[in-house]
Chain A
């Protein structure tokens, strides 16, 4: 199975400051159709996961533009330009290129 490794696992951030989460995969995520199926999810406390970004850099409907995704191959990043209180929770990367689809272990973002 493809192993997804996130860092850091804990991310204390001051409100209004930027944040960045790294996600590395054990195999290249470029699929034969030319797409790279690396997706990001946020799970707020007490809630179900919510998809934020799909195929590396495409924001889902309603996701603020302070969230951005980038990367290629095996190395990906989720960035928040200015952290707000509602961004608290656990962020997961997930790959959909290889079966079974697998998640990273999660990065817990908290406000300092």
Chain B
């Protein structure tokens, strides 16, 4: 059974940093692109970033470029999102999801909540 379990969310002040993790199991992690997708009450669902099998190719939504870094550790079946210079508008539930390319995401984690507030 495919499982994706996020962790690392919490309360952070504007300008602060947070590192999200996603532990994957039940599938050959190193053979799939992976994504982070976030959800806010105001903007709804938004794809944030994804990366290829070995992490050499990464893509980001414009609003997080230069501030967020996606990475993976295939030996540990783990996906990460390093978030720096956090803004109020980054507050969201962040989902780890197995990337199916243009057809979206079939498998999602349960999400981890990030709150940005002073």
**Chain A residues packing against B (C-beta within 8 Å):** 31, 35, 37, 39, 41, 48-51, 54-55, 60, 92, 94, 96-97, 99-106
Number of A-B contacts (CB under 8 A): 55
Bound CA span A41–B109, Å: 15
Q: Please tell me if B103 contacts chain A, counting CB pairs below 8 Å.
A: yes
- B103: chain A residues at CB < 8 Å are 37, 39, 51, 54-55, 96
- Interface majority SS (helix, strand, loop, mixed), chain A: loop
Q: Do residues B102 and A105 form an inter-chain contact, with CB atoms below 8 A?
A: no
Assess whether B95 is in contact with A48, with CB atoms less than 8 Å apart.
yes
Q: Min CB distance, A92 to chain B, in Å?
A: 6
Q: How far is the CB of A103 from chain B (nearest CB, A)?
A: 4
Give the chain B neighbours of A51 by CB distance below 8 A.
Answer: 100, 103-106
Question: Beyond the given A31-B102, A54-B104, A106-B45, could you list 18 further A-B residue pairs with CB under 8 A, ordered by the A residue number?
Answer: A35-B102, A37-B102, A48-B95, A49-B45, A51-B104, A55-B103, A60-B106, A92-B44, A96-B102, A96-B103, A99-B59, A100-B59, A101-B47, A101-B102, A101-B104, A102-B46, A103-B45, A106-B44
A49 touching B108, Cβ below 8 Å: yes
* CB pair A48 B108 closer than 8 Å: yes
Give every chain B residue within 8 A of A50 (Cβ-Cβ): 108
In Å, the complex CA distance between A31 and B62 comes to 22
B17 at the interface (CB under 8 A from A): no
- B102 touching A97 by the CB < 8 A rule? yes
Expressed in whole angstroms, the minimum distance between the Cβ of A65 and any Cβ of chain B is 19
Q: Which of B59-116 contact A (CB under 8 A)?
A: 59, 61-62, 95, 100-106, 108-111
**Contacts A55-B103, A96-B102: A48 and B109 contacting too (C-beta < 8 A)?**
yes
Q: Are A39 and B104 in contact (CB-based, < 8 A)?
A: yes
Structural contact, A41 and B102, CB atoms closer than 8 A: no
Say yes or no: B44 contacts A48, CB within 8 Å: no
Selected A-B contacts with CB under 8 Å, 25 pairs = A31-B102, A35-B102, A37-B102, A37-B103, A50-B108, A51-B100, A51-B104, A51-B105, A51-B106, A55-B103, A92-B44, A92-B45, A94-B104, A96-B102, A96-B103, A97-B102, A100-B47, A100-B61, A101-B47, A102-B47, A103-B44, A103-B45, A103-B47, A106-B44, A106-B45
